Amino acid sequence: MTCEAWQTKLDAYADAELPAETMRSMAEHLSGCPACTAELVQIIQQKRVTALAGKRYSAPPELRARIRQQIEAKPARGGWQWALGLALAAVVVIGLGLAIVLPSRTAARNRLIAGVVDSHITALASASPVDVVSTDRHTVKPWFAGKLPFTFNLPELGGSPFTLDGGRMVYLDSRPGAHLIYGVRKHHLSVFILQDGGDFSRLLPTAAEPWRSLSFNVTSWSAGGLRYFVVSDAAPEDVSALAELLKRAN
Amino acid sequence: MPDVGKNAEFEALALPLFDSLYNFAHWLAQDRHDAEDLVQETYAKALKGFGSFRPGTNFRAWMFKILRNTFLTSRTGLSSSHTEPLEPGDEDRVLPVTSHTPETLVITQDLGEALQQAIEALPLASREVLLLADVEEMSYHDIAEALSIPIGTVMSRLARARKAARQKLIESGYARKKGTVARQ
């Protein structure tokens, strides 16, 4: 398939609405096509801004009350029937409450992870992915001093397949953090370190758990008040190996 | 005589959608009073027709469908669908190929506002599909159900709507082609 043909499917890919087979072929195409990847980043970014900007109007509270009345406008019934109706309503409300809360939590967590993956893709698509270019952790770590309200350790990479490419500042969920870029064979891995709390601790687990988002492998854990993410298109084993190294260093 | 169980079931299903339905109604009608009337009429119609709702199908898509049909037959809806140009070759049309210099969204405080204006200026067919997909986060299947159009049309309309919104952002200086300077 030509690049132009892939471009017509980018929106559906961003919405995860292509058949599984096509999703996989698209992911393969993207890994070798910076133009389509950059276009995809735009679509994802625009989707996120639209989700926020689109929630523009809120209804007057009287309208909700009026509609509730309209629904409930019914003649009063005898004692036990009324109680039964109420009990049935309570069951439905509780069931529905669970049905709404559970998926909306998953949706919120997926959005959070999608934000982390976006930062990884955006940095790699940029002409200068890192602000401090160094393979030496003793150069990269001090660069963040004074820029972040916390400190962290970077692992010794000797004997591992990983290389450090450098670092940059990042903002995720409105908080500043460190973004480190590592390499393994021909793949890049992003490590994000931020203060834990808010949506991070509410939606994400403390112990490392792997996810896949837009065919990237993601893992996240929290330790010592800090939240760590590792994102990459490399194999899940590489992602967990780098996560292990980081955990041991901190 | 209204059925207590049925009414309670309807209320439990329909009231949590109130905020989303109102937001969508206001985007369609672009007027607060019309949006209020629209939402109230939607609930009245849905309650009346609740017996015909098939359990197991998507209730949310069903409510949005009623709201949208109510809007289309309202005064505002009729005038807006009459004044809008029909889109040629809607069905499964392959989108024009974009250039290989993607735009960069310049994230500023008022980007959200600029995007709101861009969405407002979109033709109704583009606006509704964009809102259902990106604000209501509905699946293509549910959007197809709510708008009574095939999934292929959802796909092509949505891609076109996003591109049109982005084009408006470029025109107002909030996105830029790579290598050009944008207004800050």
What confidence category does residue B67 fall into, taking pLDDT thresholds of 50, 70 and 90? very high
| A193 strand-pairing partners | A178, A228
**Distance set, CA B38 to CA A140, B12, B23, B42 (Å):** 58, 20, 11, 6
- The arithmetic mean of pLDDT across residues A87-97, rounded, is 69
A47-61, A159-173, B167-181: segment of lowest average pLDDT: B167-181
Q: Is residue A58 part of a domain?
A: no
B162, B166, B172, B176: best mutation site toward chain A, by most A Cβ within 10 Å? B162
Given a cut of 70, whether residue A240 has pLDDT beyond it is yes
Give the containing element (helix H, strand E) for A230. Answer: strand A226-232
Q: Is residue A242 part of a domain?
A: yes
Q: Is residue A15 part of a domain?
A: yes
**Residues A123-179: tens digit of each pLDDT:** 887 777 788 888 888 888 888 888 888 899 999 888 889 999 999 988 887 788 999
A17, A71, A105: best mutation site toward chain B, by most B Cβ within 10 Å? A71
Q: Is residue A35 part of a domain?
A: yes
| pLDDT reported for residue B73 | 86
Say which CATH number the domain at A152 has: 3.30.200.100
Instruction: Specify which of A68-72, A174-178, B143-147 reaches the highest per-range mean pLDDT.
Output: B143-147
**Residues B106-134: tens digit of each pLDDT:** 555 578 888 999 999 999 999 999 999 99
The mean pLDDT value of chain B amounts to 81
Hey, which CATH number is domain B103-177, 2.60.120.10, 1.10.4080.10, 1.10.357.140, 1.10.10.10? 1.10.10.10
The DSSP output letter for B100 is S
Identity (one letter) of the amino acid at A137? R
| pLDDT reported for residue A11 | 95
Residues of A in contact with B66 (CB under 8 A): none
Higher local confidence (pLDDT), A157 or A1: A157
- The arithmetic mean of pLDDT across residues A28-56, rounded, is 90
Q: Which one of B12, B95, B140 has the shortest CB-CB distance to A89?
A: B12
- Whether ipTM exceeds 0.85: no
Cross-chain residue pair B103–A42, CB shorter than 8 Å: yes
Domain range list for chain B: 4-83, 103-177
- The arithmetic mean of pLDDT across residues B5-28, rounded, is 91
Question: Residue A16: which domain range?
Answer: 3-52
Q: Is residue A40 part of a domain?
A: yes
Residues of A in contact with B162 (CB under 8 A): 11, 43, 46-47, 50
Architecture of the domain delimited by B4-83 = Orthogonal Bundle (1.10)
Given a cut of 80, whether residue B102 has pLDDT beyond it is no
**Residues A187-221: tens digit of each pLDDT:** 899 999 999 888 888 888 878 777 777 678 899 99
Tokens standing for residue A173: 């969920």
Number of folded domains that form chain A: 2
Q: Which one of B1, B133, B166 has the shortest CB-CB distance to A15?
A: B133
Q: Is residue A65 part of a domain?
A: no
Of B58, B26, B57, residue with least CA distance to B42: B26
Q: Are residues A137 and A41 in the same domain?
A: no
Given a cut of 50, whether residue A25 has pLDDT beyond it is yes
CA distance A246 to chain B (A): 32
Q: Are residues A42 and A133 in the same domain?
A: no
What confidence category does residue B148 fall into, taking pLDDT thresholds of 50, 70 and 90? very high
Cross-chain residue pair A35–B134, CB shorter than 8 Å: no
Cα separation, B27 vs A64, whole angstroms: 18
Given a cut of 60, whether residue A77 has pLDDT beyond it is no
Q: Is residue A203 part of a domain?
A: yes
Identity (one letter) of the amino acid at A108? A
Count other Cβ atoms within 10 Å, centred on residue B82. Answer: 7
Given a cut of 70, whether residue B101 has pLDDT beyond it is no
| A195 strand-pairing partners | A226
Cross-chain residue pair A50–B130, CB shorter than 8 Å: yes
Q: At what angle do helices B32-49 and B4-14 cross, to 10 degrees?
A: 140
Percent of chain A with pLDDT over 70: 88
Residues of B in contact with A45 (CB under 8 A): 105
CA distance A178 to chain B (A): 20
CB pairs under 8 A between A and B: 153
Cα separation, B163 vs A8, whole angstroms: 11
